Amino acid sequence: MSGHEGHEWWQSAVLYEIYPRSFKDTTGDGVGDLQGIVEKLDYLSDTLGVDAIWICPFYPSPMADFGYDVASYRDVDPMFGDLETFDRLVARAHESGLKVIIDFVPNHTSDQHPWFIESRSSRDNPRREWYVWRDPKPDGSPPNNWLSVFGGSAWELDEHTGQYYLHSFLKEQPDLDWRNPAVKEAMFDNMRFWLDRGVDGFRVDAVLFSMKDPDERVNPPNTEGLQQLHKPLGAYGAQRHVHDQGHPDIHGVFRQMREVLEEYEPPRTSLAELHIFDPKQLAAYYGGDLDELHMPTNFGLLKAPWSAAGIRGAVEGLEAAIPKPGALNWVLGSHDDRRLATRLGEDASRQAAVLLLTLRGSPTLYYGDELGMREAEIPPGRQQDPWGMAEPELGRDGCRTPMQWSADPGAGFTDSPEPWLPVGRDYAERNVEAQLADPDSLLNLYRRLLQLRRGSAALRRGAYRTVGGVPRDCYAFARSESLERVFVAINFSAAPLCFEATGVSGRIAVSTHRGNEGTEVSGSLRLQPHEGVVLV
């Protein structure tokens, strides 16, 4: 993708997250499928122009957690297609210059996975040790106070064998025991299965959960209100999760996982989900010799206040902490978070596009955020997310509604009168077709930014430097590579700003306010309320 010596594609790739249930349905059952992704590859590679896609789980699954409960790591759920369609997807994506990253769920399987069915069948089954089984306390209660992220105890009693098994998420998602070498090897082999089929890397799900305290000590209460995710955590937030995840032994697993990825030529990559907000702590997961995770996910922007100081602080903190040439990752939306446009509003959605596509590193764009898709209100009775059923304010259905392709019934997503989640109410106005026809649309802003980024070595791999001496409500930075220099400024206030700053000169190549594009700037810059500009 860059081909520049020492610079790997993933260090600056724009990654596009696809929630396959909601992207494009080609069978008319109201659920998206792999063939749907194949049919939309042109949109991704040409119309939009991203570098890579990350596809959320499509493995056979009872869908208790919509695919994050895997019943077979080596197949495709018939609802999504088959292996042949997957192979075609990879081949076509590669022909279009897109890399393919797939979700890998190491911490837990489905309770319907053959390993777990065997494991729970008797105490002396050889697979018993593949999961975490423990005796009840003398009073019959669970072995310790660990909680499930989705609510309640993390331990479920199996009446038949009289022991509890551990599940950090739903009880239908039993945790594998990664301290068992046989589990580790089997899971690495599952990764090789997909690497052999040509995938370019994995998004590794909930990865810190794979190593717990070997003594299984109780978690202390969260008396200081420590934030452990980028959103409030319901009942789970009442504890400090120091013993049920993130044990330092996880670093050994990451090093081995990296070795597996490097068995391939060219080496494959990892984007790994972890919720660590202290940049110095996050840095540790790259590995001392950059020999662990390629891209530990950085959710810092989701938590940062949407202000010049807030965003500058989040960026500078990460820039300072991550060892070069480690790849920075930037996230402002995902299948687990409220929609960006709903959280931050219309103006900020445009600023977010400028920010994500000009910072150093690899941003992840969540499908539909390029249209400003809104968090949908899901009527009672249509809710799907198990987390939302347990704790309604944490439900994730609203950000998972069908992609809005056109004003056709079903938003061009499906022919079914009943898609698995209702389409957003605004689909007739907010859709790909309509936004392509409107030069001022958010989608066209994304397209211009992506096009600029593709042609600019400074934006792809240039150094980052904060530009000082700008008004309090402005965040400005420069990216430079050899003689090329790009200057970015974002006005976070509702008032215009005019200022002079050294080095502010060039042409406005892209602006959130399209009418200002093409303007030559020299010495002083005028920004409209909420305007973000990229000067070349």
Residues at the interface with ligand GLC (CB under 6 A): 65, 68, 105, 169, 205-206, 273, 335-336
CB-CB contact of 351 with 490 (8 Å) = yes
Q: What is the nearest approach in angstroms of ligand GLC to the Cβ of residue 68?
A: 3
Cα 217 versus chain centre, distance: 31
Pick between residue 365 and residue 510 the one whose CB is nearest to ligand GLC: 365
Pick between residue 32 and residue 462 the one whose CB is nearest to ligand GLC: 32
CA distances from 420 to 18, 28, 66, 170, 303 (A): 16, 11, 11, 21, 30
C-alpha to C-alpha distance for 527 and 499, rounded to whole angstroms: 9
Annotation says 433 is catalytic: no
Pick between residue 66 and residue 188 the one whose CB is nearest to ligand GLC: 66
C-alpha to C-alpha distance for 322 and 308, rounded to whole angstroms: 21
C-alpha to C-alpha distance for 371 and 313, rounded to whole angstroms: 27
CA distances from 342 to 60, 257, 305, 347, 454 (A): 32, 37, 15, 11, 29
User: What is the secondary structure of 438-487 as a DSSP string?
Assistant: -TTSHHHHHHHHHHHHHT-HHHHH-EEEE--SS-TTEEEEEEEETTEEEE
Tell me how far apart the terminal alpha carbons of the chain are, to the nearest angstrom.
22
Pick between residue 33 and residue 103 the one whose CB is nearest to ligand GLC: 103
SS3 46: helix
Count of alpha carbons within 13 angstroms of residue 204, beta-carbon side: 29
CA dihedral 262, 268, 272, 278 (to 10 degrees): 70
Helix crossing, 250-261 with 181-196: angle to 10°? 30
Q: What is the nearest approach in angstroms of ligand GLC to the Cβ of residue 167?
A: 10
CB-CB contact of 369 with 375 (8 Å) = no
Pick between residue 396 and residue 479 the one whose CB is nearest to ligand GLC: 396
Annotation says 156 is catalytic: no
Catalytic residue among 259, 262, 263, 291: 263
CA dihedral 440, 442, 445, 447 (to 10 degrees): -120
Cα 511 versus chain centre, distance: 26
Q: What is the nearest approach in angstroms of ligand GLC to the Cβ of residue 175?
A: 11
Q: What is the nearest approach in angstroms of ligand GLC to the Cβ of residue 375?
A: 16
CA pseudo-torsion sign 450, 474, 530, 337: positive
Q: What is the nearest approach in angstroms of ligand GLC to the Cβ of residue 169?
A: 4
C-alpha to C-alpha distance for 119 and 87, rounded to whole angstroms: 32
246-249: long-range contacts at Cβ-Cβ below 8 A with a sequence spacing of 24 or more? Answer: 246/208, 246/211, 246/274, 247/211, 247/212, 247/213, 247/214, 248/211, 249/179, 249/211, 249/214
Query: Hey, which residues does 158 pair with through a beta bridge?
Result: 163
CB-CB contact of 195 with 264 (8 Å) = yes
Pick between residue 273 and residue 397 the one whose CB is nearest to ligand GLC: 273
Q: What is the nearest approach in angstroms of ligand GLC to the Cβ of residue 205?
A: 5
Pick between residue 106 and residue 532 the one whose CB is nearest to ligand GLC: 106
| Residue type for position 510 | V
Pick between residue 172 and residue 319 the one whose CB is nearest to ligand GLC: 172
Q: Which residue is nearest to ligand GLC (CB)?
A: 68
Token pair of 465 as six digits: 């430097």
Catalytic residue among 175, 205, 337, 531: 205
Pick between residue 65 and residue 370 the one whose CB is nearest to ligand GLC: 65
Degrees (nearest 5) of the Cα angle 419, 423, 427? 140
Q: What is the nearest approach in angstroms of ligand GLC to the Cβ of residue 277?
A: 16
Q: What is the nearest approach in angstroms of ligand GLC to the Cβ of residue 368?
A: 16
Q: What is the nearest approach in angstroms of ligand GLC to the Cβ of residue 30?
A: 20
Task: Please identify every residue annotated as catalytic.
Answer: 205, 263
